[in-house]
Amino acid sequence: MKRIKVVITGLNIVSSLGLNLEENWENIVAGRSGVRTITLFDPSHNETRIAAQVPDEFETYAARFCKKRIAQQMTRATRMAFVCAVEAVQKSGVDFNAADRRRCAVILGVVSTGNTSVERENAPRNRIIRNMSNAMPAWISLHYGLEGPNYAVNTACASSAYAIALGYDLISRGSADIVITGGADSSINPEEIEGFNETYALSTRNDAPEKASCPFTKDRDGFVLGEGAGMVILESDESARAREAVIVAELAGYALTSEAYNIMAPLTGGEGMAATMRIALRHAGINAGDVDYINAHGTSTTLNDLYETMAIKQVFGQRARSIPVSSTKSMIGHTIAAAGAIETAITVMSIRHKIVTPTINYHTPDPELDLDFVPNNSRAHKIDVAISNSFAFGGHNATVVLKKY
Amino acid sequence: MANIEIGIRDEVRNVVYEFFSEECEVPRNELSNTTNVIKDLEGDSLMFLELLEIFKKKYKLNVELKTVGKYVVKHPAETIGAIIDMTMLIIEHENNIANLD
């Protein structure tokens, strides 16, 4: 069956480095860190007391997008998803009044809506609506009156990359014209942090928050939790061209795999990660030799960064060292369910602006990790093809392949 | 059964209009009895339940939610005017509303 070409016509990001795409891009290109001491709650009882919180003005900003009553029925994470999606749609120029709404879908990566003890203190009502993991796509569909498929997918840190891939499928097989896809997450709360600390997954560098996320370095001691949302508007090439949309990139293909190895640890030697990248390139019809940039999962944990480096070497061979590989998480932390979509958006911006964004805090190289990690500063670099990796607890792996349009 | 006094309809009307004006962030003078709660105000089905709780307390009504629910299924109240009418019926008949056609 002939696949319909899938293009991207809108992007948006909410993160610790900004409330929209433009702010985020400027700060990420500048190599700034969004990590700081937690203020969302009193973290003094937690081993980790730092995170990449979305700026404090978010709630005021969000009030422009939805009425108070609706906002009260949403958690902070759901509000991030909603605001991010509405602005992504605006940027795409899609007019749903002119579209067949039954062929417009919403697929989001959602691990949790984050209706935690901190949230419930401030908003004790609407517990079911606020808890529902399908609430994020549901609110977006309600807002626009979209009647196509509408659901959430949970594959932990790969959730929104999975959502993008599933959106690709809907369009490429002709079941939808437009898919709002992405994800949101706000896991900065005492319970999540305590849980991640139990697994030794988080950095405890509380005295130097902005330096704590240092992927691929010898100093890395765990990831930094972030929060935010990322949205990617997928559209059939035909639909986008018919309405003379600005097409920002092509989503050329993807791979979704499961390592079936361990609930937390990645498969030894990065074999699962390598297989995912290989399958994604094959699906996209791209040769490994044509990849110009890799937006790494790059969490700043011991095993992920080691195995991802090994996997890249397995897939790209001798050429691996000449491909820029960078980690957005060095600046905005790990946004869990939002990470795949945020990093896809950054990768698309890199293609459009011919700039690779840096891995900041890269000061002490790990001799075992010897790729070009774009240390500390952005770099001009022409990109025709790029990949973005997402590797999750549970062995859920995803790679998306993006092409210049 | 609650005692329906003269002027109670004005009181109910006032509470209902204030409620929708506040919850939906719409100026009161833009609301009318024909305003549709879902379509015009982007309201939701929980709003009627919240109003019912307000009136239960205000008039010490002996009425169960499930009884009202059964009646509402047969007689949907979608506009502000219809909600005021429904509230008046509930105040008048309380749980006996289930016996109405």
The answer to whether residue B2 scores a pLDDT higher than 70 is no
Chain B residues in contact with A125 by the CB 8 A cut-off are: none
Please indicate, yes or no, whether residues A219 and A317 belong to a single structural domain of this protein. no
Residue B1, pLDDT score: 46
Is residue A1 in some structural domain?
no
Q: Output phi, psi for A316, to 5 deg.
A: -105, -5
Q: How many domains does chain A have?
A: 2
pLDDT digits (tens, 9 = 90+) for A269-328: 999 999 999 999 999 999 999 999 999 999 999 999 999 999 999 999 999 999 999 999
The catalytic residue positions of A are 157, 297, 334
pLDDT at B5: 66
Nearest-neighbour CA in chain A from B20: distance (Å): 10
In a domain, B26, yes or no: yes
Residues A127 and A218 both lie in one domain: yes
Residues A293 and A237 in one domain: no
Residue B48 inside a domain? The answer is: yes
Please give the residue range of the domain that contains residue A306.
253-403
Give a yes or no: residue A302 inside a domain: yes
Q: Is the ipTM of this complex over 0.90?
A: no
Give the mean pLDDT per block of 10 residues along chain A (405 residues).
94 98 98 98 97 97 92 96 98 98 98 90 86 97 97 98 98 98 97 95 97 98 98 98 98 97 93 98 98 98 97 98 98 98 98 98 98 98 98 97 98
Rounded to a whole number of angstroms, the distance from the CA of A67 to the nearest CA of chain B is 7
**CATH assignment at residue B41:** 1.10.1200.10
CB contact under 8 A, B25 and A70: no
Nearest CA in chain B to A126: B46
Query: What are A223's strand-pairing partners?
Result: A202
Q: Is the pLDDT of residue B4 over 80?
A: no
Q: Does residue A291 share a domain with residue A238?
A: no
- Residue A70 forms contact with B (CB below 8 Å): yes
Exposure b/e, B5-32, CB count within 10 A at least 16 = b: eeebeeebbebbbebbbebbebeeeebe
Question: Facing residues of B18 across strands?
Answer: none
Residues A65-108 have pLDDT tens digits of 988 889 999 999 999 999 999 999 999 999 999 999 999 999 99
Chains A & B: contacts with CB separation below 8 Å: 12
User: Is residue B70 in a domain?
Assistant: yes
Model pLDDT, residue B45: 83
The residue from A242, A265, A297 where one domain ends is A242
| Contact A68/B at CB under 8 A | yes
Question: What pLDDT, on the 0 to 100 scale, is given for residue A118?
Answer: 84
User: Do residues A101 and A142 make contact, with C-beta atoms less than 8 angstroms apart?
Assistant: no
CA angle A215, A10, A280 (to 5 degrees): 55
Considering the domain boundaries, does residue A339 fall inside one?
yes
Domain assignment present for A248: no
The stretch B79-85 carries a mean pLDDT of: 96
A247 in any annotated domain: no
> What's phi and psi for A183, nearest 5 deg?
-175, 170
Among candidate residues A359, A358, A405, the one with its CA nearest the CA of residue A385:
A405
In this structure, the answer to whether residues A156 and A44 fall within a common structural domain is yes
Same domain, yes or no: A131 and A236: yes
The arithmetic mean of pLDDT across residues B50-54, rounded, is 93
**Identity of the residue numbered A178:** I
What band does B6 get if pLDDT is binned at 50, 70 and 90? low
Nearest to A68 among B25, B43, B44 (CB): B25
A281 and A202 within one domain: no
- The answer to the question of residue A89 being in a domain is yes
Cβ B24–A70 below 8 Å, yes or no? no
Question: For the range A306-310, what are the long-range contacts, defined as Cβ-Cβ under 8 Å and sequence gap of 24 or more?
Answer: A306/A270, A306/A366, A306/A368, A306/A369, A307/A266, A307/A267, A307/A268, A307/A269, A307/A270, A307/A273, A308/A270, A308/A273, A308/A389, A308/A391, A309/A216, A309/A270, A309/A368, A309/A369, A309/A370, A309/A371, A310/A269, A310/A270, A310/A274
Mark which of A188, A210, A242 sits at the end of a domain. A242
CATH number at residue A388: 3.40.47.10
Please give the pLDDT value at position B3: 54
Residue B1 maps to a domain: no
Quick one: A108 and A237 in the same domain? Answer: yes
Same domain membership, residue A92 and residue A41: yes
Is there a contact between B23 and A69 if contact means CB atoms under 8 Å apart?
yes
What is the tally of structural domains in chain B?
1
Q: What are phi and psi of A163, to 5 degrees?
A: -60, -40
Residue B3, domain member (yes or no) = no
Measured distance CA(A162)–CA(A282) in Å, rounded: 17
Structural domain harbouring B66: 8-99
Domain boundary pick from A194, A223, A242: A242
